[in-house]
Amino acid sequence: MAITEEINSGQEVSRRFSNRGSARRWNDMYATETPSAEEHNYRCRRDRALQFLLPNLPSQGRVLDLGCGAGPTLLELRRRGIDCVGVDASADMLEYAGQRLREHGLDSSGLLQSDCRQTPFPDAHFDAVLCIGVISYLPDYELALREIRRILKPGGLLIISWRNATHPAASDPVRIVRGLSQRLKRRRAAGQGGSPEFTPGRHLNYRKVTRKMERLGFRYVQFAGIGFGPYQWNGTPLFSEARSIRISDTLSRILEGLRAQWLIRQLTDVSLWSYRRGEDSR
């Protein structure tokens, strides 16, 4: 059953991030400042990931962008002359990534189609790995974490993100009731010997993920939460997209200034974390 679930999820992800799915949208949202508050959050995620990476990358360091998508982060790395490789499961996304690099007069080689759970790289090959918005699409994301640990040098940097499980209820209180109902259904299924249905792109509980990271020998470095809202009532937006962006940015400045990390972890849409691989990890 687990193998079948992994295969089906891989097929669903490939379809979702193809030109028949959302590949063009992911490409376009990084080409310009689109008005969407959600897409604004993703561009902020890219920028904060670079802020985590660049000051901590050794001279001549090698970077893997695992799940590089349409190449927005690769573009910024190659603009800076950083040795980087891009891997993605979607051929269409890789085509957009290559096109983006060529449009800026940059080398478009070093783009590889591969499963993030089993890459072709040797052990301890990279100084840093970016894994942005990937693990939510895997039924068993520990497989990807173990692969990252294998290809990352001891002491190497992992920057990883996922969407936060508590954010939907925080941005739309009506969803609290729905969430409780779904949780009861999952508990009943588990009590009857069943298992919760896997949904690609699901929101993840940061406590569960971070505990797993620690068990695998990753050491926490820093965290950023990105994106408050957009706020809704039973699915109806309370503010325009432009005002939602202003509200989110203002809340970010205030709560970061107050160092209210617990609130930020609970309320924001995107969790962005930085870890180092333990020196003795195996």
pLDDT in tens, 28-49: 999 999 999 999 999 999 999 9
Give the C-alpha distances (Å, rounded to integers) separating 234 from 39, 144, 166: 21, 35, 16
Residue 250 covered by a domain: yes
153 or 173, greater pLDDT: 153
**According to the model, what pLDDT value does residue 193 have?**
53
Asked whether the predicted pLDDT for residue 274 surpasses 90, the reply is yes
Residue 282 covered by a domain: no
State both tokens at 197. Answer: 């249905």
Q: What is the mean pLDDT of the chain?
A: 90
**Ramachandran area for residue 211 (φ above 0: left; ψ -120 to 50: alpha; else beta):** alpha
Residue 57 covered by a domain: yes
Please give the residue range of the domain that contains residue 231. Answer: 2-277
Coil, strand, or helix at residue 276? Answer: strand
CATH number for the domain spanning 97: value is 3.40.50.150
Q: 199-238 pLDDT, tens per residue?
A: 888 999 999 999 999 999 999 999 999 999 999 998 899 9
Number of domains in the chain: 1
**According to the model, what pLDDT value does residue 199 have?**
83
**According to the model, what pLDDT value does residue 175 have?**
74
State both tokens at 53. Answer: 């990476």
Residue 243 covered by a domain: yes
**According to the model, what pLDDT value does residue 21 have?**
87
Asked whether the predicted pLDDT for residue 83 surpasses 70, the reply is yes
